[in-house]
């Protein structure tokens, strides 16, 4: 078993296992600047629970078809030290825009669900009619 200094820091493989991704993936995310873990004296990466939360957010974004580039844009936006009110306001506007996009997506997803449900219903009807013709009895009620 591996290191269990469970105080809120994780090794790369611990995170990989927990999040069900490869270590390569995690390193890749670092390559493209999505995460910046601390390093121990001689290079070993260590991740905080904050890093882990960030990774979860990334994976969540991916599950909805956002590219890593888009994801980066979104999260670094909230990261950076945005001094100046103009910048801050733009950031907030961007956030609002993203929320609106998400609302639209939720609606769309619900419609997709309904469509699939309809597909299924039609199919069930088809099967029912088949059953009627068949006159066969194989009840499973």
**CB closer to a copy of itself, 33 vs 95:** 95
Site residues for a copy of itself, window 103-122 (CB under 8 A)? 103, 105-106, 108-110, 112-113, 115-117, 119-120
Residue-wise DSSP of 70-104: HHHHHHHHHHS---SHHHHHHHHHHHHHHHHHHHH
Q: Which of 8, 13, 95, 124 binds DNA (CB under 7 A)?
A: 13
- Stretches 17-25, 48-56, 82-90, 100-108: which one binds DNA (CB under 7 A)? 17-25
Angle, helix 85-134 to helix 68-79, in steps of 10 degrees: 140
In the complex, minimum distance from the CB of residue 98 to DNA, in angstroms, rounded to a whole number = 17
């Amino acid at each position: 078993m591996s290191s269990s200094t469970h105080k809120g820091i994780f090794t790369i493989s611990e995170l990989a296992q927990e999040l069900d991704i490869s270590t390569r993936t995690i390193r890749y995310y670092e390559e493209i600047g999505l995460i910046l873990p601390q390093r121990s004296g001689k290079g070993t990466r260590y991740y905080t629970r904050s890093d882990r939360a960030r990774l979860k957010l990334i994976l969540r974004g991916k599950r909805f078809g956002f590219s890593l580039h888009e994801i980066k844009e979104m999260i670094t936006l909230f990261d950076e030290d945005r001094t100046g009110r103009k910048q801050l306001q733009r950031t907030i506007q961007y956030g609002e825009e993203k929320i609106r996009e998400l609302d639209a997506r939720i609606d769309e997803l619900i419609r997709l669900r309904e469509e699939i449900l309809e597909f299924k219903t039609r199919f069930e009807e088809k099967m029912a009619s088949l059953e009627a013709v068949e006159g066969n009895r194989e009840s499973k009620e």
